Amino acid sequence: MSEDDSNSEEYPTEIHDYLAAFEKSLGSVDEMLKTMMSVSRSELLQKLDPLEQAKLDLVSVYTLNSMFWVYLATQGINPKEHPVKQEL
């Protein structure tokens, strides 16, 4: 994590490994999004057959809803009581 030692007193040391793994996962998501965003959607869809296009659409929607679920949780909102649950 950036600023490992200077922020170590701000959270319990027991969760350090979890936070480091979370930060690494966020970096992976960021890299994947950059890769996907580097090509226009229409250009990407032209390269895929209809089944792959449908899979891409399903994965995109599920990912967006999942990220919103996490966002709600970080804002103190119970995602299980939010309409996004029906979307998933």
Q: Which residue has the higher pLDDT, 49 or 41?
A: 49
8-state DSSP, 78: -
Is pLDDT of 78 > 50?
A: yes
pLDDT of residue 9: 61
Task: Tell me what the mean pLDDT of segment 24-32 comes to.
Answer: 88
Write phi, then psi, for 86 (nearest 5 degrees). Answer: -65, -30
